[in-house]
């Protein structure tokens, strides 16, 4: 879900153009004003750092795989940078022209999966499903932050733009599958330990079943993911076809 939300947040923020750069967006006959010089500098630095961070994660995965000769339990080799850079994405909320709701949903859903599921339920960290969403997130974020960086600099290579609006076709279902399978794998351990659950009676007269909460989260993927995914399919047709038409007139 985090993967699909990432696409939609970007699409709503860039209108097919410069992503979080926000410069030159068309909305009818009016153009949105781009960020000022200081804001642009901050966003460039932020996106460069995040691109580098996810590259570190990618290199870490490759090095661990070559050293072990196996893809099992690779999570442990990149656990710290993954937590750091994914949690660092909280800085995006409210500072970018994308929808605050969509950006918050994208970031918080990933942070939740990292800390409230993968970190909290140690038993799932060796699951292959964790590697599935980590790989999907890593490729997606390297492309996404590169896209934003070059857009802010007004030098967006077509290859990055094409990758941004094409590779999600495989990466987002891959990421969502990994996320769902990881939550599913955590369920028996959550239930057995009563993790984060609050039972009655207590002085606040309040109860919370974390096991049931995780099931509700999994169910929420059913109506939300298809909408976000097909929205991106529509955005891909519109943006890439517009680029091709523009090339013909150059």
The catalytic residues are: 172, 179
Q: In the numeric block, which tokens belong to residue 18?
A: 């410069």
- Taken as a whole, the chain contains a residue count of 250
Contacts of 34 by beta carbon, 8 Å cutoff, 6+ apart = 18, 21, 22, 23, 24, 40
Describe the crossing of helices 168-193 and 2-14 by its angle, rounded to 10 degrees: 140
d(C-alpha 33, C-alpha 102), whole Å? 21
DSSP characters over 133-148: HHHHHHHHHHHHHHHH
Residue from 108, 178, 102 nearest 138 by CA: 178
- Angle at alpha carbon of residue 154, lines to 141 and 57, rounded to 5°: 20
Q: How many CA atoms lie within 13 A of 239 on its CB side?
A: 25
- Report the distance separating Cα 3 and Cα 8, nearest Å: 9
């Amino acid at each position: 879900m985090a993967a699909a939300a990432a696409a939609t947040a970007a699409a709503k923020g860039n209108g097919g153009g410069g992503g979080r750069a926000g410069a030159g967006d068309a909305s009818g006959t009016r153009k949105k004003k781009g960020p000022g010089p200081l804001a642009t500098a901050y966003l460039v630095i932020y996106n460069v750092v995040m691109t580098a961070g996810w590259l570190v994660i990618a290199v870490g995965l490759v090095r661990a795989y070559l050293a072990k000769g196996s893809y099992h339990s690779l999570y442990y080799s990149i656990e710290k940078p993954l937590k750091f850079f994914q949690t660092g994405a909280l800085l995006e909320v409210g500072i970018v022209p994308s929808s605050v709701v969509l950006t918050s949903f994208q970031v918080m859903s990933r942070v939740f999966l990292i800390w409230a599921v993968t970190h909290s339920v140690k038993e799932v960290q060796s699951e292959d499903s964790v590697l599935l969403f980590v790989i999907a997130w890593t490729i997606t974020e390297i492309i996404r932050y590169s896209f934003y960086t070059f857009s802010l600099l007004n030098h967006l290579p077509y290859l990055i733009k094409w990758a941004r609006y094409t590779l999600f076709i495989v990466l987002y279902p891959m990421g969502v599958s990994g996320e769902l399978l990881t939550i599913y794998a955590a369920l028996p351990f959550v239930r057995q330990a009563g993790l984060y659950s609050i039972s009655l009676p207590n002085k606040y007269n309040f109860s919370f079943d974390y096991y049931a909460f995780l099931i509700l989260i999994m169910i929420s993927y059913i109506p939300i993911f298809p909408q976000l995914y097909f929205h991106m399919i529509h955005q891909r047709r519109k943006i890439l076809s517009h680029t091709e038409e523009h090339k013909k007139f150059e």
